[in-house]
Amino acid sequence: MSARRHKTGCPICGKPVVKEYRPFCSRRCADADLGRWFSGAYAVPGEPVDPADLPPSDDGGTERD
Ligand SMILES: [Zn+2]
């Protein structure tokens, strides 16, 4: 039984993961993944957000004074 088993490395570059940037090896890779995620999200032809779905805001509608 060899206990010396690395978990999955950085999903971006495969380097050993740094605890601080888990599950990545560095901030750069974390950012890279984030950017990838965002560009992927933006690329998805999603439905437009319906204002009715948003929570109503109490500010602005109510008159005070
Ligand atoms: Zn990396």
| More confident: 23 or 47 | 23
Question: Is residue 6, in this structure, part of any structural domain at all?
Answer: no
Q: Ligand 1 mean position to 43 CA, how many Å? A: 24
Give the C-alpha separation, 38 to 65, whole Å: 44
Query: Domain range spanning residue 23?
Result: 17-43
Question: Is residue 30, in this structure, part of any structural domain at all?
Answer: yes
* Single-letter amino acid, residue 53: D
Total domains in the chain come to 1
Q: Ligand 1 mean position to 34 CA, how many Å? A: 12
Please calculate the CA angle 52-43-36 and round it to the nearest 5 degrees.
115
Question: Is residue 55, in this structure, part of any structural domain at all?
Answer: no
Question: Is residue 49, in this structure, part of any structural domain at all?
Answer: no
Question: Is residue 36, in this structure, part of any structural domain at all?
Answer: yes
Q: How confident is the model at residue 62 (pLDDT cuts 50, 70, 90)?
A: low
Q: What is the pTM of this model?
A: 0.47
Question: Is residue 32, in this structure, part of any structural domain at all?
Answer: yes
Question: Is residue 39, in this structure, part of any structural domain at all?
Answer: yes
Q: Ligand 1 mean position to 35 CA, how many Å? A: 14
Question: Is residue 3, in this structure, part of any structural domain at all?
Answer: no
